[in-house]
Structure 1
Amino acid sequence: MSTKRTFGQEASVEQAYELDVAAVDEDGFEVVEERPELRPTVELEIQAKVDTNHPDAGVSGLTLEAEERMLAREWEIAKTRTRWDDRPESDREARTRRMVSDQSRARRVEFQKRAASVDRRLEPGRVDPRERLSREELAAVNQQATRIHRMVKSSVSRAVLSKQLAERLVRGEELVSAAVAVIEKQWTRPGGIVPIAKVGDVPRGEVTVEGRVERLWVPSHPAIMQVGLLEDDTGRIRFTVWKKSNQAMVKEGERVRFRAAEKNWYEGRCSIALTWWSNTEFPDRGAWWE
């Protein structure tokens, strides 16, 4: 049975419709529904007439305020899409490139000034030491730089090596002693290939060496994958490859390069071991797609 709330008690709507009379309570008063009628105020009616009869009013059914807000938004979108300087002879792109270039140059100079506080050779405006050398001295320096670059197999360019040599010559050193100092510096720098005879002198725990596998032995422990001797023009060194290092297998007579090999000492002799952080390279092997 459907019911509705009354002022007195609940009454049956169906019964009221069946009798076709107004529903009354027990005291005989007519039951009134609690449904207030919503009517617009006088201000709202006046504003609706103004908005409807306004000559600029559109057909969107919006109020005047909403219409103005929508038109302002459309004007803003159109304005942002329009280029400020849209003349055919405009140099806007050129001015932008110059501004970006100037800002980049200023940031680079600022960075060089900060770097110069650590290394004076990086000071902006510093004269290249090679400009102070004669033509014969510069030719000898470039020749030594080429030889050092080929010897140490460093990632440093020949231009950087010649600049380092020139700096030492300007300070009064001989070319031979300057070349030896630069070679020692390249051998001891991180990532540079160290001659096997110089491995023990490198003040680091990891080195990069290159040579030929002279001999391989049977590992004495199940955790060892390979053990053998690596030889180059300066000497020999024993190497150990652990199974957990996940390295590639090497063969006798093959030229290999061990990167980030860990140094070990036993009874006054230096050896190297390939760990998980090491890497094995084969310079004589072709690319895999060949």
Structure 2
Amino acid sequence: MRAREWEIAKTRTRWDDRQESDREARTRRRVSEQSKERNVEFEKRAASVDARLEPGREDPRKGLRREELAAVNQQAMRIHQMVKSSVSRAVLSKQIAERMSNGAELVGAATAVIEDQWMRPGGIVPIAKVGDMDRGEVTVEGRIERIWEPSHPAIQSVGLLEDESGRIRFTVWKKSKQPLVREGDRVRFRAAAKNWYEGRCSIALTRWSNIEFPERGEWWK
């Protein structure tokens, strides 16, 4: 008990315990400064990969007319909803405007930005485009249209996943230790491995994959 009382007393002790103390204000300012410093450092690292993200670079949207800017922002919102990107709508609109400043039309610029988002690690790829992606793992999202009886004891489940663009066959291996899925579930398969059989592309969930259920939400709600 004495040790606990000592701890409480020490915690409450402040070197600037004056009534007009500005400790909290100074702390808030310092946290804000550190946050700005981290953001600048992040932007510098991003600019080393993509020069369009260089801090202080002139915003390409400044050269757009009002109606063009409105159309660009609308496309950025559509892309953000389509690809469920972690990139903000503001950044997407800048990327579209950058391409337009280099001579691209609005539709072509938006299409190029969409493809860039698909190529990002973890970017959600439309099922119809899975076979065209130049990598061995993809992230897809859709609704499970059908589940079949597994033909092998090593298979946990096999079925069809469908989104607005098409369907793809998926296999979940038991060793992957993934949660069970049911027909009608909306799922997001992350890092699903691509396979080819008789000219058709399919995906498989391995131990490095992950299944998410966007519609289930938190259990406490």
* TM-score interval, normalised by the smaller of the two chains: 0.7 to 0.9
Partner in structure 2 of residue 235 of structure 1: 166
CA distance in 2, matches of 1:210, 1:106: 36
Q: Deviations over 1:231-285 (max 9, x none)?
A: 1111111000000111111111221111111111111111000011111111222
* Percent of paired sites with the same residue: 78
Deviations along 1:20-68, one digit per CA (max 9) or x if unpaired, are xxxxxxxxxxxxxxxxxxxxxxxxxxxxxxxxxxxxxxxxxxxxxxxxx
Q: How far does the alpha carbon of each residue in 1:175-204 deviate from its partner, in whole angstroms, 9 at most, with x for none? A: 011111111111222111111100011111
Report 1 or 2 for greater relative contact order, CA contacts < 8 Å, sequence distance ≥ 6.
2
Q: CA separation in 2, counterparts of 1:210 and 1:198?
A: 12
Q: Structure 1: which amino acid aligns with 2:100?
A: L
RMSD: 3.0
Superposed, which structure 2 residues align to 1:195-234 within 5 Å?
A: 195-234=126-165
Alpha-carbon distance in 2 for matches of 1:251, 1:259: 17
CA change 1:177–1:218 in 2 (3 A) is same
Structure 1 gaps, min length 5? 1-82, 84-90
Gaps of 5+ in 2: 1-14, 16-21
- Aligned runs of 1:171-186 on 2, under 5 Å? 171-186=102-117
Distance 1:116 1:262 in 2: 31
Give CA deviations for 1:68-96 in whole Å, capped at 9, x if unaligned. Answer: xxxxxxxxxxxxxxx9xxxxxxx9xx999
1:252 aligns with 2:147: no
TM-score (ref. length: structure 2): 0.79
Change (3 A) 1:241 1:131: same
Which residue pairs with 1:146 in the alignment? Answer: 77
Counterpart CA distance in 2 for 1:154 and 1:287 is 21
CA distance in 2: counterparts of 1:285 and 1:96, whole angstroms: 39
- Aligned amino acid, residue 158 of structure 2: V
Whichever residue aligns with residue 267 of structure 1, its letter is: E
Q: How far apart, in 2, do the equivalents of 1:96 and 1:254 lie?
A: 47
Paired residues for 1:112-123 under 5 Å? 116-123=47-54
